[in-house]
Structure 1
């Protein structure tokens, strides 16, 4: 390889060819004319040619310094791939004389001129966040191209190219002076030196073949399908085609992905997995991947900095500089050894050392005394009522254990609850890579292996051995850095807290905690210190969550769905957050059952107390059932004087229908389209939501009469003054029933349209409907299961917004804060009508435990002013959601009030085309960001926002900001 050629080629500017000259050549040699638009390029001059008749081409002009043999290799590869691979690539367009490449003289310099087919679509370089589908799609494409090119041969593949990683370190050394900042120069030089040290032992084992070497988001063409998902259309720009190490192709793709990684180098791991499944890599290639990415990032920065100095007017290069520095920063943000371990683990190649290393005791004087291991994990009994949010709680619990038992220790490899981060998109660093001991003052600390002592800047004492290093905090030592010790030698004294951490890479400074996603890689570098402590300090391994989900699917009826395809395993909650076993907090924006929030201590206290006394059925005589019934009647409108207690909203609505039948003497019930009322035979019959039951509209029994949904946003009639139009449907059914001599039993609906995201009914609608139904002897049922009980903020009951009083109120959900509890409130004459059919009884409904919990919920709602919180914070919530409409075209409307809100997403605000696929993406992406949210509505295009009523402004801001972020991603 000629270094002079490499350096010369790396310094070439783009050919100085304007659009007018390019158009003249195009007409002369190709017989083509049209508008030309310049495309960005590093060293070529490229134009998009639009002929105006539907035909579009790419005109490529490169320096004559590159041989026609090299260009012929690119063309041969295009033809080869069009035959041997499903990947679409551009066709080569011949000149009028049938030539693939033209070489012309331009201002005394030779330039090569050629035309390629244009592939419709777009690059995703502008997209801030690339989802897993795109990341793995790029990697799969890379793998398939490499498989197809494995047998491709051409003389033009053996070329000198600045992007060839085999020359990276020579090029880096040459180009370093283009960086004026001495600190940046040193940083690049150090990174390159480390990458070269890791790479050199592997070079001889790396397979070599023809590769594209530029499969990045710039050169892969995508287009949205009918479901708004990005689908790959083709691969372009074969200008870097070369024969070199096979793994270099994936390294280029992964380096490009780092620009979209939001600072997380582990972002590339799904790409590595996807590539490896199609085109398995050797272990040496896997080990070489990250050093090659580091080298590539350095070459990108240096190449662009040099090119920018040569062509300061090249806007393409100037625009890319920031992204390339970002790639370099991410690539050098973690140790190479860590990423090698992560890559091997990602493809199942990591082999853990089962044999523990042999060490001398660190604390031999304590070897016969037992340490009490303190559970600081997510399920620890030490944590109650959010006390894990107190600063220093872990250390406090360890001190208390030491005071009680003499010696105490934390567990290595434990996911610490205290390190969870509520209302944060950041993955918390919960995994402990160390053990913390509490030991008596004056305890002598010994060297567990031979090594050299160092005092680190963060106050640790580090013993660096031949194959492992030990870091200790809390040890007093009189020895200076550089002193050598043998195994068993005294190195200092400890007392109180002593932190112990091992690392197999002496030059790496690991964190004390890491994130769950990085835990396997860091754990491979930071083994458990149990071998030098003399006792097993390891936390029990977490159960396989995927295996547990499979057990659920194998035993739990499939129609009982779970949220998300791969849901996190939630085992703890606190206030308006849910916490998985790895300590990740998720903002709960959909749980209207837990009105008081999760883990409320009053619930545990009241339930425990009553369970210890009595729990039985409501046919026994006890005070709680009378007290709770009286409390409920105080919340109801005047005239309502009877309560039924059941276990759920379904049971409450089912009973309401029976009451309507018994009181009216009829069977026919009017319900509202797009509504959901429950899962029993009767409540399913009156539920017409096709999102909940796709067959809802075709399977209604003849006693159910669904009236047109009074949806003021996307219904048949839109706007506030539409009640008269929606009443036509009610009148038609009532008239038909009267003509047929059928007695109407009643009308049931949610006073606020819950299943449609909390849409208010048209003013006056319920007043008119209730009057019409009552005139024909029917009763009016208000289903307050979702929207009532203070959730709306301004109103305690949904029917208050309409200025009506129903005959029957049904409720459940938040009544028990998660305990199964529902109720029906009505008048005496309606309640007693049921006695003609026999008595009513619910085994658990109205039990002592249920009643005490129900009263405790009401007490806490009053004491903590949750109804007021729903009004104030809920009002702020709606204001913040409304700002999204001005900012994002997908945000169509905001419905509801208080803590029952709906954000409806549409693709067009005129046609109201529902953005169903975008809403599904939004919900999945929010889960990645730490938020639980699900869609509702017949088109599943509405965010159903119904969080616990303890939700704070901080949580509101976190939610709305995250929604805005994802909407921005969807609209980019």
Structure 2
């Protein structure tokens, strides 16, 4: 039992000191005046004072706290301040009489007074989400403080402290007397007993030194970095500094993280790794870490219950109560063995693999080579369309394989697509820790090793001190508790004679643990160490090959040109899709909100069938005579306005723009092209020349050829002229450029722009802008090119072509992207007169653009768009989604504007709605956070501060709601 004075101190309320009394103390003893605000505290009374020159914290402690302990706190702060590169630390301030600690009597109560400098910043407590980088920095900061205190010695450190984790067990038992909820009290008591039992045999190897012992999200001061993300850089509140276990400092910090963990205890691992890099812990300390975290959480919740009983008006304690209960809930949500294995693995202390070589075969009558392995992975050919969503699909496929071969098995360590969940905030548990085998009922089974029989209903366990085999599907005549030898019969496969039976096998190294059948991808490696493969029981390899994502990424970077970037620095390996969903090789589902290439959605069966059938017939180039190219060209021409009746088929949007420029040159005999700033049109020499987006090419404005004449972007949100009344101002900018070309005695070839400012985030052009500009261009003999590659083809919902919104008809339309749903296909639609101008310079063809497969794909896309009302869905779902996003703008100042229409939307983030300072770094971090939540999103615009929202047109309302909800989650919780 701890010291009685210690227990008495656990029951002390805060000092009863008013703000007025605090004001008098500051003026009388420190010569300071200013505004005062009370700060929260468990058992002290703290006030912040703001003077004109600086901020301070006045700390008032009860007389029961030993003065030498307060002196130790001041000394520790001064000691740490001498280390270069140390975190920011408060500085003790002497009173006007030179005192470090004052003794003051107020209302017949004696108090001890100290003054410290105030650290600007924000605690992490109220931020629900902490990025892995933040978690890691908290671990690193904790290590730096511990290293700084390593050789610090002071007589005030040898103290009785209720938070000292060396005394956690008896302190918690004492505090539990105040917990009135019997169930909660029993839960805390059980967890504390288990934790202490795991700590006791390790205690002798736990190093002791001076430690802060309260580096928590409450006591760490953070300031935003360039991404607007709070990064911890200062430590306050040295009230618990003590001589204690080194690892306890990390345990306290990790425990405080658990209410940010969203239920996942693995959340702490970046902090553990970072601490280990700065101040390595030994193996005993690493094994003691999680039990100490559980103990800390248990003491916290017990202490809170007691403190509220004696000080019910303490808002600080009440405010932390829910956080502390969440910490305890997460700390006790997983087996000790699991998280211990995870911690050891995170720092490279992996436990040895369990050897199964000595096992006998479980099924002596089944030849291992006759067992067919069933592929249930993300890339399995057995999954057709969305049959993976059938809850019984695994057993159906397994039974089908067994009917053909006599026996079939699933694979251990396989990420199963059938266990994915679309529109899921968290990656689902898809990693198989077991195998299922279909084989004839009545097949005998024997014990692969000597073990004790444990029965739990129909669940059979062969248990030893080192390994347990969990079996389902065996009729076992043995009794619970029986001891059997290796090779002894344990029963037969359940089922009627002649029927197919099902057998489930799972190994586990912890005999007290009933493991799950599946693990989340981020937990898979840890669970696999606890639940090794049962392949040795069958005598053949039942293991699925692990994904090689990192190796494939390295291979890509070795052989694939670096200019062809990935969307993410650490991209998921995506190998399958369905409608607006994409699946990586671990079975994680992502909502695809950026893929305007797949206008129909992924994996469309009708399109796949049409393309496959045409491939089986013929694929060649358009210089041969076949039906599909004629039919598709005629179909495209019918979609264009009257007079645009001639079609070129090409491979991509870049080629379409390139060809459109050649047509303008051929028709006019000039090369001068007027284009818009902030625009992107493609990667070929000509299409790149008219592209001025510095986000796509940082040197775009320096490298334009002289025949390109960029004009001010008619950006009605952040351009020099704002709003719907800016038309004439932007038109005048075009007029000036045209006058300059005229003055030079040069002719004009044409004008190119997107009909909606797509690359800038779907910003509509000012009303009437194109009508006026087209008129000026045509008056000079130029042609007008509408780049519809991104914004056209039904994506806007309210219009099939973007130029329809402006009420104009261009001379040339370029289109690509969605028209092939991923097939390399683009088109130029123009008049016969303009098309013939190119023929005068020679013939033209595109190998794949008008091929039979491309033409069939293009017609099938149009058929599906019509039959599934995808343009109407783009209008209805897009308008609904836009309203959801605009509602976010009412709540979050970071949201500057929502641009666009249909399913081409842009959500622009700004740091200030007046100056429109772009929130570039925040946008990148938000996209990364959205990926964690199962949404694929990327930034656009010259400042890369606009979310480019252009999903497949089949986007459902549920998916729109999920996207809006995840965005709200990020903006609410942080990134």
Moved more, 953-962 or 765-774: 765-774
- Aligned residues of 1:401 and 1:408 also touching (Cα < 8 A): yes
Q: Secondary structure at the match of 1:810?
A: strand
In structure 2, how many angstroms separate the alpha carbons of the residues matched to 1:211 and 1:368?
A: 58
Counterpart pick for 1:508 among 506, 513, 516? 513
1:749 alignment counterpart: 753
Larger mean CA deviation between 551-560 and 260-269 belongs to: 551-560
What's 2:490 paired with?
491
Contact 1:923–1:932, Cα closer than 8 Å, also in 2: yes
The secondary structure found in structure 1 opposite 2:191 is helix
Q: How does 1:166-185 map to 2 (within 5 A)?
A: 166-185=166-185
Say whether residues 1:572 and 2:576 are aligned partners: yes
Q: 1:354 to 1:182 in 2, by over 3 A?
A: closer
Q: Equivalent residue for 2:259?
A: 259
Which of residues 530, 536, 557 in structure 2 aligns to 1:553? 557
SS at match of 1:756: coil
Task: State the partner residue of 2:50.
Answer: 50
Q: Distance in 2 between matches of 1:251 and 1:623?
A: 72
Following TM superposition, by how much is the alpha carbon of 1:104 offset from its aligned partner in structure 2, in angstroms?
3.2
Which residue matches 2:523? Answer: 518
Secondary structure of the residue aligned to 1:954 is: helix
CA contact (8 A) 2:229 2:974 kept: no
- Counterpart of 1:151 in structure 2 is 151
What is the match of residue 714 of structure 2?
710
TM-superposition CA deviations, 1:290-334 (whole Å, max 9, x none):
000001100000111111111111111111111111100000000
Helix, strand or coil for the counterpart of 2:73? helix
Q: Which shows bigger deviation, 941-950 or 620-629?
A: 620-629
The residue number in structure 2 matching 1:851 is 855
1:268 aligns to what? 268
Contact 1:918–1:970 under 8 Å retained in 2: no
Measure how far apart 1:242 and its partner are. 0.9
Measured in 1, the distance between the counterparts of 2:645 and 2:126 equals: 63
Residue of structure 1 equivalent to 2:455: 455
Aligned to 2:113: 113
- SS of 2:259's equivalent? helix
Matched, 1:874 2:873: no
Alignment match, 1:737 = 741
Contact 1:362 1:446 in 2 (8 A): yes
Residue 763 of structure 1 deviates from its aligned partner by 1.8
CA offset digits 1:504-547 (Å, max 9, x no partner): 1121121111100111111111111122222221111221x233
- 2:953 counterpart residue number: 949
Distance 1:719 1:470, change over 3 A: same
Q: Quick one: distance in 2 between partners of 1:272 and 1:153?
A: 26
Aligned mate of 2:655, from 651, 655, 667: 651
Q: Which residue of 1 aligns with 2:79?
A: 80
CA distance in 2, matches of 1:250, 1:477: 48
> Partner residue of 2:435?
435
Q: Find the aligned partners of 2:407 and 2:459 in 1 and give their Cα distance.
A: 22
Partner SS, residue 744 of structure 1: coil
Counting only pairs closer than 5 Å after superposition, residues 255-404 of structure 1 correspond to structure 2 as 255-353=255-353, 355-356=355-356, 358-367=358-367, 370-404=370-404
Question: Residues of 2 paired with 1:310 and 1:480: CA distance?
Answer: 54
The answer to whether the Cα contact below 8 Å between 1:85 and 1:144 also exists between their aligned partners in 2 is: no
Question: Are 1:119 and 1:233, in contact at CA under 8 Å, matched by a contact in 2?
Answer: no
Which whole-Å deviations, capped at 9, do the CAs of 1:809-843 have from their partners, x for residues lacking one? 10110111111111101111100101222222323
Q: Write the distance in 1 (CA, Å) between the matches of 2:824 and 2:2.
A: 79
Distance in 2 (alpha carbons) for counterparts of 1:99 and 1:575: 72
The partner residue of 1:532 within 537, 542, 563 is: 537
Within 5 A, what are the aligned runs for 1:33-72? 33-51=33-51, 53-72=52-71
Q: How does 1:797-876 map to 2 (within 5 A)?
A: 797-876=801-880
SS of 1:568's equivalent?
Answer: coil
What is aligned with 1:907? Answer: 911
Whole-Å Cα distance in 2 between the matches of residues 944 and 237 of structure 1? 45
Q: CA RMSD in A?
A: 1.7
Whether the 8 Å contact between 1:42 and 1:316 is mirrored in structure 2 is yes
Deviates more, 1:639-648 or 1:222-231: 222-231
1:790 paired with 2:806, answer no
Aligned equivalents of 1:11 and 1:764: distance in 2? Answer: 75
Aligned to 2:498: none
Once residues 303 and 821 of structure 2 are traced to their aligned partners in structure 1, the CA distance between those partners, rounded to angstroms, is 61
CA distance in structure 1 between the aligned counterparts of 2:370 and 2:226, rounded to whole angstroms? 65
What CA distance in whole angstroms lies between the structure 2 residues aligned with 1:332 and 1:729? Answer: 66
Deviation at 1:618, TM superposition (A): 1.8
Bigger Cα displacement from structure 2, 949-958 vs 701-710: 701-710
Match of 2:497 in 1: none
- Relative to 1, partners in 2 of residues 1:450 and 1:183: Cα closer, same or farther, differing over 3 Å? farther
In structure 1, what is the Cα distance between the partners aligned to 2:455 and 2:182?
Answer: 28
Residue 799 of structure 1: how far off its partner (Å): 0.9
CA distance in structure 2 between the aligned counterparts of 1:108 and 1:491, rounded to whole angstroms: 79
Residue from 917, 923, 926 that aligns with 1:922: 926
State the secondary structure of the residue aligned to 2:576: strand
For each residue in 1:21-73, what CA deviation from the matched residue of structure 2 results, as whole angstroms up to 9, or x when unmatched?
2222322322223332111111111111222x122111111122222221222
Aligned to 1:102: 102
Please state if 1:477 is matched with 2:476.
yes
* Correspondence for 1:415: 415
Deviation (angstroms), 1:479: 4.4
1:85 CA displacement: 4.3
| Structure 2 unaligned regions, length at least 5 | 495-500
- Aligned-partner Cα distance in 2 for 1:143–1:895: 47
| TM-score (normalised: structure 2) | 0.97
- Counterpart-to-counterpart distance in 1, 2:177 and 2:2: 20
How far apart, in 1, do the equivalents of 2:226 and 2:480 lie?
Answer: 66
**CA distance change for structure 1 residues 901 and 2 in 2, over 3 Å: closer, same or farther?**
closer
Mapped to 2, the partners of 1:180 and 1:230 lie a distance apart of: 38
1:671 aligns to 2:675 (yes or no): yes
Q: 1:916: how far off?
A: 1.7
Q: Secondary structure at the match of 2:382?
A: coil
Kindly state the Cα deviation for residue 236 of structure 1 after the two structures are TM-superposed.
Answer: 1.0
Equivalent residue runs for 1:954-969 within 5 Å: 954-969=958-973
What are the ranges of 5 or more consecutive residues in structure 1 without an aligned counterpart? none
